Amino acid sequence: MAVFPIFGRKQKKITTLDEWRKFAPPQFPDRQWKIGRSAMELARAWVEGCLPLEVEELLQSSPITKGFVPSCAWAELQTPLDGLDGNTRTHDLVVRGHVSGLKKFILAVEGKADESFDKTIAKRLAQVERKGIPSGVPKRIFDLAQAVMHSTTNDVAGLHYQLLVVGSRHPY
């Protein structure tokens, strides 16, 4: 079992739940850092710096990810999503490693314990249209569908928005 370091903001190394909350807090710690909530449950599953068994089994089940060896990880990592205005993408956890000793590989983890992966893309687009105010959401969805899945907006309409965003390009 490979053990790897996990870092929070300002490259602070995380080895305990207290350090995770201090160096990589969720957006609303008082509301989100609780037993049974995603932020704390993800931290509890990963804080030892090794792949949780379920994740390792999933990765081993595909020829694309079989043999994944993690080298390091970042909690609450903010990355640019695209060139549009709006919030920066915050990944709950990003794990860098390699597959079969050769290919670099990034595993972006979206922790979910008691909430959904947001609305479907179709519902998100309908919501933007109903509001009638200018939004970058339609272009962001179109661009991500093209870049991540080589698809059109219609092809990904049934996918939940956060599942598309998690797959976004990453600077590593």
For residue 14, is pLDDT > 90? yes
Q: Do both 13 and 89 map to the same domain?
A: yes
Taking the C-alpha atoms of residue 78 and residue 7, their distance in angstroms, rounded to an integer, is 12
Q: Do both 11 and 38 map to the same domain?
A: yes
Q: Do both 84 and 144 map to the same domain?
A: no
Q: Do both 25 and 102 map to the same domain?
A: yes
Q: Do both 154 and 77 map to the same domain?
A: no
Q: Do both 15 and 65 map to the same domain?
A: yes
The residue range of the domain holding 154 is 121-166
149 belongs to a structural domain = yes
Q: Do both 133 and 54 map to the same domain?
A: no
Model confidence over 88-103: pLDDT tens digits? Answer: 778 899 999 999 867 8
Q: Do both 103 and 133 map to the same domain?
A: no
Ranking 74-78, 126-130, 141-145 by mean pLDDT, the lowest is 141-145
Model confidence over 29-67: pLDDT tens digits? Answer: 998 899 999 999 999 999 999 999 999 999 999 888 899
56 belongs to a structural domain = yes
To the nearest 10 degrees (0 to 180), the angle between helices 137-149 and 121-131 is: 160
Query: pTM for the whole thing?
Result: 0.77
> Domain boundary at 109, 140, 155, which?
109
Q: What is the mean pLDDT of the chain?
A: 85
171 belongs to a structural domain = no
Question: Which tokens belong to 129?
Answer: 């249209």
Q: Do both 81 and 142 map to the same domain?
A: no
> Could you give phi then psi for residue 108, rounded to 5 degrees?
-100, 120
Q: Do both 125 and 105 map to the same domain?
A: no
Q: Do both 65 and 103 map to the same domain?
A: yes
172 belongs to a structural domain = no
User: Within 10 A of 149 (CB to CB), how many other CB atoms are there?
Assistant: 13
156 belongs to a structural domain = yes
Residue-level pLDDT at 172: 35
Q: Do both 82 and 158 map to the same domain?
A: no
- DSSP codes, the chain: -----EE-GGG-EE-SHHHHHHHS--SSHHHHSSTTSHHHHHHHHHTTSS--HHHHHHHHTSTTTTTEEEEEEEEEEEE---SSSSPPEEEEEEEEEEETTTEEEEEEE---SSS-S-SBHHHHHHHHHHHTS--SHHHHHHHHHHHHHS--TGGGTTSBHHHHHHTS----
> Could you give phi then psi for residue 93, rounded to 5 degrees?
-155, 135
CA dihedral 17, 19, 23, 24 (to 10 degrees): -10
For residue 160, is pLDDT > 90? no
Taking the C-alpha atoms of residue 156 and residue 37, their distance in angstroms, rounded to an integer, is 28
Q: Tally the domains of the chain.
A: 2
For residue 163, is pLDDT > 70? no
